[in-house]
Every structure is written in structure tokens, then in C-alpha cells.
Amino acid sequence: MATRKLLLLPGDGIGPEAMNEVRKLIAYMNEDLQAGFELEEGLVGGSAYDVHGQSISEADMQKALGADAVLFGAVGGPKWDDVPYEVRPEAGLLRLRKDLQLFANLRPAICYPALASASSLKQELVEGLDILIVRELTGGVYFGEPKEIIDLGNGQKRGIDTQIYDTYEIERISGVAFELARTRGNRVTSMEKRNVMKSGVLWNDVVTATHAASYQDVQLDHMLADAGGMQLVRQPKQFDVIVTDNLFGDMLSDVAAMLTGSLGMLPSASLGAPDDVTGTRKALYEPVHGSAPDIAGKGIANPIAMMASFAMCLRYSFNMVAEADRLESAIAAVLDSGIRTVDIAGESITPVGTTQMGDAVLNQFKALSN
């Protein structure tokens, strides 16, 4: 039986509540499908601060480095608003991204037919939407130096951020996008601002060269990022995979997220470079939502974003494509049957709690697996 090392970092707020529903899936897969998941647990965020005085301990960082994949819940909450900046809950997530060198952030925007009416766009524009935004996560203007506010001495200050990309960074993120496109609709749209930014000119050149060298079977289009934002709300189904930098990816993926309805539905994956020997990538999977302190402890959080993040983990870290497909189908079937948590219930449906939603998906997944 294969051994698959998985580290669970539930975190704070609704993170542990949502993670419990994934635990049930894992237990079933180990017992009935011989999946061979070997689980470790750790603390991150405020819950790690309370125990270790750090947002993630060295021991848990070592577990993350040794795992095949990390499943992350959410961090943060008012309880930790006043802790020192360097040990604030979010620092644990940033440390994980940095030390695991997770340079590729994958955010699917899937609109389940049953939820199409909840989108802020017209139903026919979003029904059946299935796009994937691949965002560069470790470079660009969020990290470039100099990054400072300087006093000009004349009553004025100057804020400086620096957008920097090197060839290798653009090559590796576009390579991820092309490879993923091959497993989907085989189309990539690269977005930058080459009309006004030198880093955009280089981005365009390198993506074009990477495509010509290794991925000519994939269709490549280029679009200015502002036009891309407009097209995302005008006609989102025209896209398959979008690849873009850290800043534009941050904004465009939030725009795409809103096409699909609720924050409680959205999974994400962050991937590192393939290991030279094994070919496997370091990876962290997490819902897009935060710790939702306003509903934490009430048992009403939607666990679907966390469960769909686990589906991404099955697909991208363990190549368990059939199981990932079945889990995503189970989620769609549960939504089709009208079962809803409070965030997606609307006016006319009585919502179920976290556990009932998790059980409904698990039972459907079992039915599809038999």
C-alpha cells in the first residue's frame, strides 16, 4: 500500500471545524479504499501562539517540510489582534509559503449549476464556469526591493514598491500553467501590462518563449491585465487557465471568486518546484476564506471549501484523479439536492450545519466510490 504523508494544520476559528469534515473523508479512504494516508497534526496561527509563543513552531515546520502535502485550515481572529507583528497568526502561513517555496498559487473558479443564481452576474454567464487562475506567489511587487517610505524632508514622503521578475520565475510559473492546461481545456491566457511596464514586456517574452520551446500543443493567448479583468466579468467562460503575476493574480482571482457565489465554496493550492529526484512538488492546500470569527464555534461554517481543497490535494499531490473527480462530483450532487449551509442557503432553504454538510458529501462520495 502506498504511504502518503499528510500534515493537517487546522489553525483557528472555523479552520478546525472544517478540517474535521476532511478527517472523516480521510478515515473512510484509509479504511475502505486503502488510500494509505499517514496523518500528522500541527498547530498554526493563534493556536500555535497560545502554546508556543510563535505562529508555527520549528517542530511543525519540520513536519511540513517532510510531508507530501499540507492541509491548512485558516488562521487569525480578534483574540490575537494585539500580539507582536512578527508572531501574528498570518506569519505562520507566510513562513510555510516561504520555506516550502510555494511559488505557484492555483485558484479554480467553478460555478456549480445549483448555485449559478447566487452569482452577482447573470446566470447564463456563469453557469458551468470552470476556470483556473495560476498566480505567481513569491515574487513581484509584494517582495521586490527597495520597499520603503522615505521622508523627502520638504513635508512630503515617498512610498516605493518595486516590481521585479527574473526569467526563471516567469518560466517556472508559465510551465505550471501550460502543464495544468494539458489536463483541462488546453488553453492558457497570459495577463500582464506590457504596454506600461518593463516587467510586463519581459513576462510576455518569456511566456512566449516557454510556449515555443515546450508547449506548442497548448493554445496561448496574451491579454493586458486590465482588459482581462473586464473580460472576466463580461464573458468569463471564454477562459480556461489564466497565468499572471503576484499583484494582478491577487486581484483577478478575487474578481473570479465573486463570480461563483460564496467564500465558503472556494479551494486553493500552492505548489513548489518538483523535487530533482522524486519529481514530487511541495504543496499546501487551503480554503480561500479566513477563520470567520463571527461564526466560529457555532457549527454552521460551510466545509465545502476545505473539502474541495482536499480534492485538489488528491489531484495534484497524489495523482488520485479518479478520487478527486468523485469528490468534486459528490459536492455538486449534494448542492443539486438542495442541501445548503447558511452562507449559500438564500431565503427559501433551511440551512444545515457543518457536520451535516460534511456527512452529506461523505455519503455521496461513498456512493460514487462503490
Residue positions counted in the chain: 370
Task: Clarify whether 237 is annotated catalytic.
Answer: no
Determine the residue type at 185.
G
Determine the residue type at 61.
M
Residue among 5, 142, 161, 366 flagged as catalytic: 142
Residue among 226, 275, 294, 336 flagged as catalytic: 226
Distance CA 144, CA 18 (A): 35
Question: Toward ligand NAD, which CB reaches closer, 144 or 351?
Answer: 351
Residue among 205, 254, 275, 336 flagged as catalytic: 254
Taking the complex as a whole, the smallest distance from the CB of residue 265 to ligand NAD amounts, in Å, to 8
Task: Clarify whether 142 is annotated catalytic.
Answer: yes
C-alpha cell at 266: 472556494
Q: Is 210 helix (H, G, I), strand (E, B) or coil?
A: helix
Taking the complex as a whole, the smallest distance from the CB of residue 302 to ligand NAD amounts, in Å, to 4
Residue among 193, 215, 245, 285 flagged as catalytic: 193
Question: Toward ligand NAD, which CB reaches closer, 191 or 361?
Answer: 361
Taking the complex as a whole, the smallest distance from the CB of residue 351 to ligand NAD amounts, in Å, to 10
Taking the complex as a whole, the smallest distance from the CB of residue 185 to ligand NAD amounts, in Å, to 28
Residue among 161, 250, 325, 359 flagged as catalytic: 250
> Sign of the CA dihedral 369, 365, 186, 235?
positive
Question: Toward ligand NAD, which CB reaches closer, 218 or 306?
Answer: 306
Task: Clarify whether 250 is annotated catalytic.
Answer: yes
DSSP secondary structure string for all residues of 150-171: EE-SSS-EEEE------HHHHH
Task: Clarify whether 254 is annotated catalytic.
Answer: yes
Question: Toward ligand NAD, which CB reaches closer, 27 or 263?
Answer: 263
Please state the separation of Cα 138 from the chain's center in Å.
14
| Main-chain phi, psi angles of 155, to 5 degrees | 85, 0
Q: Do the beta carbons of residue 83 and residue 106 sit within 8 Å? A: no
C-alpha cell at 314: 488528491
Taking the complex as a whole, the smallest distance from the CB of residue 361 to ligand NAD amounts, in Å, to 13
Contact residues: ligand NAD, CB under 6 A: 14, 74-77, 93, 263-264, 286, 289-295, 301-302, 305, 343
Task: Clarify whether 165 is annotated catalytic.
Answer: no
Distance CA 327, CA 107 (A): 17
Question: Toward ligand NAD, which CB reaches closer, 200 or 290?
Answer: 290
C-alpha cell at 352: 444545515
The residues assigned a catalytic role are 142, 193, 226, 250, 254
